[in-house]
Amino acid sequence: MRYGQAVDFGLGEAMAADDRILTWGEDVQLIHRDLLARFGPDRVRDTPISEAAFLYAGIGAAMAGLRPVVEIMLVDFLAVGWSGLVNAASKFRDFSGGRWQVPLVVRAGCGGWYTDGGQHSQTLWGQISAYPNIHVVCPSTPADAARLMLTAVRSDEVVVFLEHQLLSEQWLDYLGGASRPTVDFSQLVPADGAEGEVPVPLTPLPIGQAALRREGSDVALVSVGVGVHRCLQAAEVLAGSGIEASVLDLRWVSPLDADAVLEQARAAGRVVVVDEDYVRGGLSGEIAALLLEAGIPARYARVAVEGTLPFAPHLEYAALPNAERIVTAVKVLK
């Protein structure tokens, strides 16, 4: 199953079991035609281009007893509805002393590698994770995508479900597709992330549980989304130099699987965080703080985004956490 199909499969399984679940957003009837055919226009609804309005509609619907999945298209556009997320969805449970639940999923594409410029290629997962009562997940495989969507929809929390646009054939075709003749996608799209087996019957995964994708004793590579695949590429290169790297797929940016990170850090004594988000105020800094607070004397480095992502393919590739940058960071630590 392909990545985007897997997300819709997970959502479809949840919608079939619970008629309180519905989805809306811009062009969802076009992008998710299978869901429209299966559940009809009352449960798969198109909206005007007004992210703030239809995000607030989702918050209200969730508080009234539904379980909406609000699709924001690109996480960059979530900035338009930022108040709804950080001043309303994040706070209403606490403001009401726990009497109001907001079982809301905000679904959005994220990430770069397909040359769509700095305003369409961000991940923003670090910033979103800073607010209370918001979970943030970004699957790296089709199996995880389906199972974690099921987890998200069944949760009583606000979950921001991020689909990496390089892995999802739906987003890649919709946003890049034939309009990117300068990009060789065969060299960029991780095959194991874009397509793979999805277990049936589908079962949810626990919230906040990471997955160890590769074992290694010399250095721990920690990442999420496409970064996991770049780490696996780098680990193969490093193995040729006698350096064995473990690769930890966080799956969740919030809540963070602190135990899994600390276990890998203790074992290897060296940690490299590979983060497609900005270097300041994000995931990489959070993991550094985690190591310090736990008193682990691990050597540490991070490979992240330093500034605005450029449009030119070769410049974007250099700015993102590619395998070459990861290998260099590891060798500096050695």
Q: State the Cα–Cα distance between residues 193 and 166, nearest whole angstrom.
A: 9
Question: Is the separation of the CB atoms in 201 and 135 below 8 Å?
Answer: no
* Residue 48 preceded by cis peptide, ω within 30: no
By annotation, the residues acting in catalysis are 120
Residue in the block written with tokens 């290998």: 327
The closest of 130, 126, 125 to 106, measured between CA atoms, is: 125
For residue 330, give the H/E element and its range. Answer: helix 323-333
SS3 content of the chain, % helix, strand, coil (to 5): 45, 20, 35
Question: Is the separation of the CB atoms in 187 and 233 below 8 Å?
Answer: no
Tokens for 70, please give them.
């609000």
Q: State the Cα–Cα distance between residues 203 and 225, nearest whole angstrom.
A: 20
